[in-house]
Amino acid sequence: MSRLSGLGHRLYSGQASIDIVGRRRTWYIVSGIIIALAIGSLLFRGLNLGIEFRGGGDYTIPNATCSVEQARAVAEAKTGSQAIVTVSGQGTVRVQTEALTTTESAELAKSLSTTCGVGVDTIKVQVVGPTWGSEISKKALQGLIVFLILVALFMSIYFEWRMAVAGLIALAHDLIITVGLYSLFGLEVTPATVIGILTILGYSLYDTVVVFDKVKENTRNITGQSVLTYSDAANLAVNQTLVRSINTSIVALLPVLAIIIVGAGLLGAGTLLDLAVALAIGMAAGAYSSIFVATPFLAQLKEKQPQMVALATRVRARRANAARSGASSESSTDAAARTTTLVDSAPRQQPKRVPRSKRPKK
**Shared domain check, 155 and 107:** no
**Shared domain check, 198 and 226:** yes
**Shared domain check, 136 and 124:** no
pLDDT of residue 342: 38
**How many angstroms from the chain centroid is the CA of residue 196?**
11
**Shared domain check, 121 and 95:** yes
pLDDT of residue 305: 92
pLDDT over 70 at 183, yes or no: yes
Specify whether the CB–CB gap between 184 and 263 falls below 8 A.
Answer: no
Taking the C-alpha atoms of residue 244 and residue 217, their distance in angstroms, rounded to an integer, is 17
Structural domain contains residue 356: no
Instruction: Residue 96: give its domain's CATH number.
Output: 3.30.70.3400
% of the chain exceeding 90 in pLDDT: 24
189 pLDDT band (50/70/90 cuts)?
confident
Q: 269, 287, 307 — which closes off a domain?
A: 307
**Shared domain check, 162 and 116:** no
Structural domain contains residue 258: yes
- Amino acid type, 345: S
**Shared domain check, 157 and 281:** yes
pLDDT of residue 343: 42
Residue-wise pLDDT for 96-106, tens only, equals: 888 777 888 88
Structural domain contains residue 74: yes
Residue-wise pLDDT for 143-161, tens only, equals: 888 888 998 999 999 899 9
Structural domain contains residue 324: no
Specify whether the CB–CB gap between 223 and 307 falls below 8 A.
Answer: yes
pLDDT over 80 at 359, yes or no: no
**Shared domain check, 167 and 284:** yes
Query: 199-214: b or e for each residue (b if 16 or more CB lie within 10 Å)?
Result: ebbebbbebbbebbeb
List, in order, residues 6 or more apart from 188 with CB less than 8 Å away. Answer: 48, 49, 50, 274
pLDDT over 80 at 271, yes or no: no
Domain span at residue 230? 2-49+132-307
Structural domain contains residue 76: yes
**Shared domain check, 172 and 203:** yes
pTM of the model: 0.76
**Domains in the chain, number:** 2
**Shared domain check, 174 and 71:** no
Q: 66, 98, 128 — which closes off a domain?
A: 128
**Shared domain check, 182 and 43:** yes
Taking the C-alpha atoms of residue 292 and residue 190, their distance in angstroms, rounded to an integer, is 30
**Shared domain check, 163 and 33:** yes
Q: 280, 307, 334 — which closes off a domain?
A: 307
Structural domain contains residue 96: yes
Q: Which of 137, 151, 205 is nearest to 173 (CA)?
A: 205
pLDDT over 50 at 350, yes or no: no
